[in-house]
Structure 1
Amino acid sequence: MAAIQVVLLLVGLVGLPAAMGLASSSMAANGYNENWVPGHATWYGDPYGEGSSGGACGYLQLTGTPIGNKIAAGNEAIFQKGKGCGQCYEVKCNYPVCRPEGTRIVITDLCPGGQFCSGGNPAFDLSGAAISAMAKDGQDGALRNIGLYDIQYKRVPCEYPGQNIVFKVDAGSSPFWLSFTVKYMGGPGDIESVSISQRDGSFIPAQHSWGANWMLINYSGAPFQGPYSVKINCMLNGHTVVAKDVIPAGFAPGQEYESNVQIGF
């Protein structure tokens, strides 16, 4: 991935969290949970795996990437028609076989049905790796056997140390239709809106396609002119980041382009 000149614009941020040593009042002011919230969960897939690769958010491979295999599909209250993709939570349970500390998960998929996921209250369908991580040593099998869980959760900032935001250009993209998936968003992790500027131009709104996927449709008939800068506005707290010239004029469909920017909590 070539080095790309990028400009960072953070609105109302106090910086990246230092070992998560942030005052709870500051966390709450930025939209995160100070306290644990009651919820429900199930689990799916391989007992130690990621469940399904990518799912409805479009991240594709997860194991071995900054997202990892401790992930979850959220029901619509969490998934929010794809705009909840990338949110990070800590989850824990209170059964005798559970660890007392929380396990960090990332929302990567939609959980559309089942006893909990079909309801209106927040629910998580956890990967096998996530539910196993919630168990005390040697008790993961016993925890998985429970199947339906009362849990506690809280929304927390996403952290990807050493990793900046990545834009994966979709196959089929061209100078007349640009579509990409946003990956590894720190801080809120979620996306409210995306705007794109062409070469030295003003920002125009992109259209939310599905999951973490956004697109720019050509209505003029004239080809787009790269390089392309991308502005992202987060859903949780309105924090904004701008990646300047992150997608080159001669982009390759299917290629990932890492920016030089990340967003704090």
Structure 2
Amino acid sequence: MEYTILFATSLTIAMLTAAGFSPAHGWNKGTATFYGGADASGTMGGACGYGNLYTAGYGTNTAALSSVLFNDGWSCGQCYLIMCDAAATPQWCRAGTAVTITATNLCPPNWALPSNNGGWCNPPRPHFDMAEPAWLQIGIYKAGIIPVLYQQVKCWRQGGIRFTMGGFNFFELVLVSNVAGSGSVRSVSVKGGSTGWITLNRNWGANWQCNSGLVGQTLSFAVTSTGGQTLYIYNVVPSWWMFGMTFTSNQQFSY
């Protein structure tokens, strides 16, 4: 039901903008290009650290954000509803369509090119370099770049929050992924079987760092979303964990 309402709302706004009306409250103007190929294989990895976006649950509805939106990685995992601005370029838009993408990468500035001619991700431009399959849902391929209307929206995920254990010895690098609600994480703490709660520091993207000896201990996590919800996820990582393993919880954010 919520998806139906969302699509109907975006369709209504698209028709209004096509008729020359200003976008509704909460919508912002930006631009969008595409990358990664028809199967989005070129979007794997990225500055958020999610790795294989297919197996990570993000699929092909993803985008690299310009630095003003990426916010040094704090926006990793956030979801944005995007539509082509038909009032500006009706010939390059797929009328009445919208797509929700997840932020998985950074589109870095290109200082060798002007912001209005190739340097699309230069500050202060809000720009989405979208996976090609996602972009083609709203734009005509020949256009290359289109003006868009966008807003951050709630993320929906299948299953619970995931924790991937990286690092080595006394250095743990925990990737927190498949986050619903606000999609992004404000803070993370870990508790071993023989420790108290230890606050992690964000290292890069969606990776959180701990410098304690946790190998051989069952691990629990306290995760706070940027929406302000905190979840205590107990014993999600068993004592036999090894670096490189991913563990999925049965808990998920609602906002």
Q: Which residue in the other structure is 2:51 paired with?
A: 60
What letter matches 2:183 in structure 1?
G
Q: 1:249 aligns with which of 214, 234, 239?
A: 239
Q: Which residue of 1 aligns with 2:156?
A: 159
Are 1:80 and 2:71 matched, yes or no? yes
Report matched runs for 1:9-88 at 5 Å.
19=3, 35-63=26-54, 65-88=56-79
CA contact (8 A) 2:97 2:137 kept: no
Q: Which residue of 2 aligns with 1:120?
A: 124
Q: 1:73-120 CA distances to partner (integer Å, 9 max, x unpaired)?
A: 011222111111100011110233413231010000000024221122
Query: How far off its partner does 1:202 sit?
Result: 3.0
Q: In the alignment, what sits opposite 1:173?
A: 168
Q: CA deviation at 1:182?
A: 0.9
1:104 maps to: 100
Contact 2:27 2:149 in 1 (8 A): yes
Change (3 A) 1:88 1:198: same
Q: Which structure: greater strand fraction?
A: 2
Q: Is 1:145 aligned with 2:145? A: no
Indicate the structure whose relative CO is greater, using CA pairs within 8 Å and at least 6 residues apart. Answer: 1
For the residue of structure 2 that corresponds to 1:241, the secondary structure is strand
Which residue of structure 2 lines up, in the alignment, with residue 140 of structure 1?
A: none
Gapped regions of structure 2 (runs ≥ 5):
10-23, 111-118
Q: CA RMSD in A?
A: 2.4
CA distance in 1, matches of 2:5, 2:43: 33
The structure 2 residue matched to 1:205, chosen from 199, 203, 210, is 199
Aligned to 1:238: 228
Q: Taking every aligned residue pair, what percent have the same amino acid on both sides?
A: 29
Q: Quote the offset at 1:41 in angstroms.
A: 1.6
Give 1:225 deviation, angstroms: 6.0
Deviations 1:235-258 (A, max 9, x none): 2x2121221111222211111100
Q: Distance in 2 between matches of 1:246 and 1:63?
A: 23
CA distance in 2, matches of 1:223, 1:49: 36
Moved over 6 A (4+): none
Is 1:40–1:123's contact at 8 Å kept on the other side of the alignment? yes
SS of the residue aligned with 1:90? strand
In the superposition, the TM-score normalised over structure 2's length comes to 0.80
1:134 counterpart residue number: 138
